[in-house]
Amino acid sequence: METTAHITRLVLPGLTNRHGSLFGGVALSLMDEAAGIVSTRVSRGPCVTAHIQSVDFEEPIWEGEAISVHAALIGVGRTSMRIKVETWAECLEEGTRRRSTAAEFVMVAIDKVGKPRPVPAEAQERLDAQADGNAQGEAEG
Ligand SMILES: CC(C)(COP(=O)(O)OP(=O)(O)OC[C@H]1O[C@@H](n2cnc3c(N)ncnc32)[C@H](O)[C@@H]1OP(=O)(O)O)[C@@H](O)C(=O)NCCC(=O)NCCS
């Protein structure tokens, strides 16, 4: 089971404000999309966004740069999933990257009538296995 998602887009003129940088709403939309992909992968079904923790826009992303969105599962509840989402600005010509935004999303798995449904146990098992792998890697230096 994959617990991450990555989206990359070129920042074109229609996506920018009058200062030539990416609209915050576009960044938020891509972040929500990436969180939605992770939660749907992990829960094997539809999900909704229940909560977005405060979002700080740390760096502008300029027209002509790329925005990369990285989402990763960091917690599993009974019906909810916590997903860390970061956006990065990439200057493609220079090959440099800057973190632009980070936020935590809470996504809830829902059934056919929109009521919360349990997240499969496999999701927590997968997170535990990743934590064990990280701890082992740190111990081995
Ligand atoms: C999200 C939603 C399904 C929750 O329904 P609900 O009947 O209130 O469900 P519950 O109170 O049983 O909560 C279900 C889970 O969501 C979590 N949750 C609900 N609202 C939350 C919030 N504001 N912040 C963090 N977690 C929240 C609960 O902690 C619970 O987690 P757990 O099962 O892992 O313990 C419902 O509020 C909803 O449909 N909201 C609209 C979603 C939406 O339209 N999003 C935008 C478009 S995708």
Query: Band of the pLDDT at 81, cuts 50, 70, 90?
Result: very high
Query: Band of the pLDDT at 17, cuts 50, 70, 90?
Result: very high
106 lines ligand 1 (CB under 6 A): yes
For the chain, give the mean pLDDT: 95
CA-47 nearest atom, ligand 1: 48
Q: How many CB atoms lie within 10 A of CB 67?
A: 22
Residues contacting 135, CB < 8 A, separation 6+: none
Q: What CA–CA distance (Å, rounded) separates 44 from 87?
A: 25
114: CA distance to ligand 1 center in Å? 10
86: CA distance to ligand 1 center in Å? 22
48: CA distance to ligand 1 center in Å? 8
49 lines ligand 1 (CB under 6 A): yes
pTM across the whole model: 0.94
Residues contacting 40, CB < 8 A, separation 6+: 46, 47
118 lines ligand 1 (CB under 6 A): no
46 lines ligand 1 (CB under 6 A): no
The domains of the chain, with CATH numbers, are 4-139 (3.10.129.10)
60: CA distance to ligand 1 center in Å? 31
Q: What CA–CA distance (Å, rounded) separates 18 from 115?
A: 41
- Residue 72 burial (C-beta neighbours within 10 Å; 0-12, 13-18, 19+): middle
Q: What CA–CA distance (Å, rounded) separates 76 from 82?
A: 6
Query: pLDDT tens across 85-113, in order?
Result: 999 999 999 999 999 999 999 999 999 99
CA gyration radius, the chain: 17
Looking at residue 122, its amino acid is E
